[in-house]
Amino acid sequence: MTEKETTAPRPTVSVIVPARNEEASLADCLRSLVAQTNVNFELIVIDDHSTDRTREIAASFPGVQIIEAGPLPEGWTGKNNAVSTGARQARGEWLLFTDADTIHLPGSLAAALKEAHENAAELLSYSPEQIAVTFWEMATLPVVFAELARQYSPKKVSDPASPIAAANGQYILIRRETYDAVGGHAAVAGDILEDVALARAVKSSGRRIRFRYAADKVRTRMYRNYAQLRDGWTKNLALLFPNPGWLAVKSLLLWAFPWAALTIAVVAKQWWWNAFAVFALLWSVSRLRRANFDLVMEFLGALFGMPMFAYLLLRSKRAHSNGSVTWKGRTYGPQDRPEPETIHHTPTPAGRLS
């Protein structure tokens, strides 16, 4: 460390961006981050053994620190290794872990820090606005996020009295003292769902977390084609839901009912079944309202996304059972699904906001 670095004022926030072959999105992400104002922050990109132009793109932004992730330790996921590497170098009072495919709206960093203080939250996580372009993105995302909102209600997650804990790894702002107190990402080194695991650790320690949908702060396009969407949700879905097999069956039944009613109306010429078909379709659409997508995407979800969601759930369950989950060139073994009901609060004075 140079003398200048030693005497430099400590940043309020260290923004940590893990990046593995992210040339398609990293420039937009960094452009939105370096433009943040009204807060003293440092920006760290961890190059996780990229083979594309990721490092070159990061280096084109003055002031961005670039760190090599280093060899992947046994039992660690690649992302946990990368963000832990960044956290070890970070000097901020707060750490913001954010993905390379996120876009941060002007002023969002300072506003997020203010929100954390105002709500006495030691971990603040945003669920970004999801950008969908291709057909399968538009059809599948409303179903996935509606079910996630049902399983991990932001209201319950933010309620200290509720055992439900969750976070979105695309945006996690956490106080450094709290991060260290719960063991950081090293404590969840092997967890594919490191965001949920970290949130559970924070909440079970008695510290307050805040989680909400935040289209006013950040947006993202998670997957840019069908293969990425399929593999990404295969990695996650079976871990996010306690009973993925039953949820797949339920989704298929809900999807099939309006089609069955329509078939009866046509074959048996009992046209009053049309009313049942319309009602069932509208009810399915209404179930997707909590996902925060527009009406067109909700109809696409009800018509095509529900069977796709069921397929991805079963594919994910099988992949995890076989220990063959592959993501960005790495394969991970079996994982335990989170059990939010088992969280027990242990109040502690450490890490409280002043």
Q: What is the pLDDT of residues 84-128, one digit of tens each?
A: 999 999 999 999 999 999 999 999 999 999 999 999 999 999 999
Q: Based on the domain organization, do 100 and 74 belong to the same domain?
A: yes
Kindly state the percentage of the chain with pLDDT values over 70: 92
Give the count of domains, the chain.
Answer: 2
Q: Is the pLDDT of residue 4 over 90?
A: no
In a domain, 145, yes or no: no
In a domain, 342, yes or no: no
With cut-offs at 50, 70 and 90, classify the pLDDT of residue 265.
confident
CB under 8 A, 24+ apart: contacts of 266-273:
none
Q: Based on the domain organization, do 273 and 297 belong to the same domain?
A: yes
Cα 182 to Cα 32, 177, 207, 346: the distances in Å are 30, 9, 10, 12
Q: Based on the domain organization, do 204 and 321 belong to the same domain?
A: no
With cut-offs at 50, 70 and 90, classify the pLDDT of residue 7.
low
Q: Based on the domain organization, do 203 and 286 belong to the same domain?
A: no
In a domain, 266, yes or no: yes
In a domain, 176, yes or no: yes
In a domain, 44, yes or no: yes
Separate counts of helices (H) and strands (E) for the chain: 14, 12
With cut-offs at 50, 70 and 90, classify the pLDDT of residue 337.
low
CB 242 within 8 A of CB 339: yes
Phi-psi region of 329 (alpha: psi -120 to 50; beta: other; left: phi over 0): left
Mind listing the pLDDT tens digit for each residue in 280-325? Answer: 889 899 999 999 999 999 999 999 999 999 999 999 999 999 988 9
Q: Based on the domain organization, do 172 and 262 belong to the same domain?
A: no
pLDDT at 99: 98
Q: Based on the domain organization, do 38 and 177 belong to the same domain?
A: yes
Question: Which residue range is the domain that position 254 belongs to?
Answer: 227-331
123-127: strand order across its sheet: 65-68, 41-47, 13-19, 94-98, 171-175, 123-127, 209-213
Q: Which of 25, 14, 290 is closest to 172 using CA atoms?
A: 14
Q: Is the pLDDT of residue 271 over 80?
A: no
pLDDT at 248: 97
Mind listing the pLDDT tens digit for each residue in 9-19? Answer: 899 999 999 99
CA–CA dist 184, 177 (Å, integer): 10
pLDDT at 6: 52
Output the CA angle 64-126-333, nearest 5 degrees. Answer: 80
CB 252 within 8 A of CB 307: yes
Q: Based on the domain organization, do 219 and 238 belong to the same domain?
A: no
Q: Which of 250, 308, 260 is closest to 281 using CA atoms?
A: 260
Output the CA angle 123-124-125, nearest 5 degrees. Answer: 120
CA–CA dist 1, 326 (Å, integer): 38
In a domain, 139, yes or no: no
Q: What's 81's domain CATH number?
A: 3.90.550.10
Mean predicted lDDT score pLDDT of the chain: 91
For 33-47, 141-155, 340-354, which range has the lowest pLDDT when averaged over its residues?
340-354
Q: Is the pLDDT of residue 342 over 80?
A: no
Q: Based on the domain organization, do 14 and 89 belong to the same domain?
A: yes
Q: Based on the domain organization, do 217 and 248 belong to the same domain?
A: no
What single DSSP character describes residue 105?
P
Cα 85 to Cα 26, 65, 240, 331: the distances in Å are 19, 12, 26, 21
With cut-offs at 50, 70 and 90, classify the pLDDT of residue 353.
very low
